[in-house]
């Protein structure tokens, strides 16, 4: 049954007030109660923050029977009529109430409870404690159905690892720890010259990550040129006209199995194209970035890339699923020019791939591989289990460079979060995300 809306204008005023207060920074979070009621909204907010919760319900009249008290509590906890739960700091409550009155809010506002640090849910009505439960048990119940479906649909081992991580309520979340000043624009002196070196934003049929890639390089001071492989075949563009090459990700050839390798073979088996790429990779003044499908493609061309002999293949994820997540990575110490000055950083990064598991034919990583990026746990240990390691790569390795560092391949997508507002979670700060430094490093490299 749809909720009642007796006064559409009051509803509009409430939404406008909520938006205004969110922009002011007084409201930290909110959740409507339309899908499960107050208790579900409150729990989902607490689950996201990995905190405990105490809810205090209005007590029914003192003479009411126990059955009537419980019925009243159920109606308050599971009522799905129009309503919203708002999270604020204690010290802003008076200002919040004043602004609600000034905005003509007619709906009642009342304090319902507070966060707890002991990872428990406590629901109180009058002098009765209705619920006192561990949040780990509750989030386990909340995710159990999804887990059971996931075990049938995906790799059961991956499903079990994710469910175990979900129930570990005390586990720390993502870490945002750059080893450098993310707001420092090291490319500014070069941009100030007015020169905008060309970078080829390379794509093939089906690739859809080229717009974000171009935006990141444009912001770093490049003239980003959209180049399709067919442009190189026809002679409309030649790689010798560019200082940089960025092979983009996102569903080349519809992301059919092995699409990145298919893209590579289309180049390697075309003599004129292969020679263009060979000459470009050999130019000491050039740089190359391969991301996602572009990473797989570059791996397939490693025989053309000086110093890439130890690169792996990229195989189907162990989870048996396409993975799109914000995960934790560490930037390793490597000769990569694009990661210069970034080693030691622990940062969230987007992954979006179905075939990202690195493999050297079942053998250990060779000494010539030169890893540059790996998935890690929040405490910095290499991630071995799902979903912190979303594809099952050994020791979490997910990015590699060459001997001279001019070429970097990685499965995650730094171009998709080169601005902080593009990140689904990030602490407060400036506009630039730490990942913009990669593109600024490229601008410094070309001079």
Catalytic residue among 31, 318, 413, 418: 413
Residues 364-411 have pLDDT tens digits of 999 999 999 999 999 999 999 999 999 999 999 999 999 999 999 999
Catalytic residue among 292, 318, 330, 377: 292
Domain match, 240 and 317 both: yes
Residue 58, domain member (yes or no): yes
Residues 302-360 have pLDDT tens digits of 999 999 999 999 999 999 999 999 999 999 999 999 999 999 999 999 999 999 999 99
Determine whether 413 is an active site residue: yes
Domain match, 240 and 332 both: yes
Residue 176, domain member (yes or no): no
Mean pLDDT along residues 228-248: 97
Q: Residue 30: which CATH number?
A: 3.90.650.10
Residue 127, domain member (yes or no): yes
Domain housing 202: 188-446
Domain match, 128 and 198 both: no
Residue 232, domain member (yes or no): yes
Q: What is the 3-state secondary structure (H, E, C) of the chain?
A: CCCCCCCHHHHHHHHHHHHHHHHHCCEEEEEECCCCCHHHHHHHHHHHHCCEEEEEECCCCCCCCHHHHHHHHHHHHHCCCCCEEEEECHHHHHHHHHHHHHCCCCCCCCCCEEEECCCEEEEEECCEEEEEEEHHHHHHHHHHHHHHHHHHHCCHHHHHHHHHHHHCCCCCCCCCECCCCCCCCCCHHHHCCCCCCEEEEEECCCCCCHHHHHHHHHHCCCEEEEEEHHHHHHCCCCHHHCCEEEECCCCHHHHCCCHHHHHHHHHHCCHHHHHHHHHHHHCCCCEEEEECHHHHHHHHCHHHCCCCCCCCEEECCCCCCCEEEEEEEEECCCCCCCCCCCCCCEEEEEEEECCCEEECCCCCCCCCCCEEEEEECCCCCECCCCCCCCCCCHHHEEEEECCCCCEEEECCCHHHHCEHHHCCCCCCCCCECCCHHHHHHHHHHHC
Determine whether 320 is an active site residue: no
Domain match, 317 and 418 both: yes
Domain match, 270 and 372 both: yes
**For the whole model, what pTM was predicted?**
0.89
Domain match, 251 and 352 both: yes
Determine whether 81 is an active site residue: no
The total number of structural domains that make up the chain: 2
Residue 165, domain member (yes or no): no
């Amino acid at each position: 049954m749809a909720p009642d809306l007796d006064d559409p204008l009051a509803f509009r005023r409430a939404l406008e007030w909520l938006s205004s207060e969110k922009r002011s920074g007084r409201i930290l979070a909110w959740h409507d109660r339309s899908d499960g009621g107050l208790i579900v909204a409150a729990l989902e907010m607490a689950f996201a923050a990995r905190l405990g919760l105490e809810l205090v319900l209005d007590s029914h009249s003192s003479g009411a029977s126990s059955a009537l008290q419980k019925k009243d509590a159920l109606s308050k906890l599971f009522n799905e009529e129009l309503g919203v739960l708002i999270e604020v700091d204690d010290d802003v409550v008076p200002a919040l109430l004043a602004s609600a009155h000034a905005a003509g809010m007619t709906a009642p506002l009342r304090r319902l409870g507070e966060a707890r640090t002991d990872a428990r849910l406590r629901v109180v009505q009058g002098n009765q404690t209705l619920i006192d439960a561990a949040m780990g048990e509750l989030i386990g119940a909340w995710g159990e159905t999804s887990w059971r479906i996931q075990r049938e649909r995906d790799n059961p081992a991956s499903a079990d690892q994710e469910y175990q991580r979900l129930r570990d309520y005390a586990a720390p979340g993502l870490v945002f720890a750059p080893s450098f000043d993310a707001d420092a624009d090291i490319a500014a002196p070069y941009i100030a010259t007015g020169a905008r070196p060309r970078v080829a934003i390379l794509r093939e049929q089906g690739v859809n990550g080229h717009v974000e890639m171009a935006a990141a390089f444009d912001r770093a001071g490049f003239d980003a040129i959209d180049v399709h492989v067919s442009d190189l075949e026809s002679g409309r563009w030649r790689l010798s006209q560019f200082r940089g090459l960025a092979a983009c990700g996102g569903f080349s050839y519809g992301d059919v199995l092995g699409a990145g390798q298919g893209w590579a073979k289309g180049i390697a088996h075309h003599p004129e194209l292969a020679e263009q790429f060979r000459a470009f990779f050999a130019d000491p003044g050039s740089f190359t970035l391969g991301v996602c499908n572009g990473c797989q493609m570059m791996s397939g061309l490693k025989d053309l890339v000086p110093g890439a002999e130890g690169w792996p293949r990229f195989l189907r994820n162990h989870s048996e699923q396409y993975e799109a997540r914000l995960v934790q990575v560490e930037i390793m110490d490597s000769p990569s020019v694009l990661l210069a000055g970034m080693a030691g950083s622990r940062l969230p990064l987007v992954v979006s791939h179905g075939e990202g598991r690195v493999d050297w034919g079942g053998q250990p990583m060779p000494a010539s591989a030169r890893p540059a990026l790996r998935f890690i746990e929040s405490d910095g240990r290499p991630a071995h289990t799902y979903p912190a390691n979303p594809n099952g790569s050994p020791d979490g390795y997910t990015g590699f460079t060459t001997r001279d560092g001019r070429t970097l391949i990685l499965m995650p997508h730094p171009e998709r979060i080169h601005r902080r507002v593009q990140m689904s979670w990030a602490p407060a700060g400036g506009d630039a995300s730490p990942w913009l430094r990669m593109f600024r490093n490229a601008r410094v490299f070309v001079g």
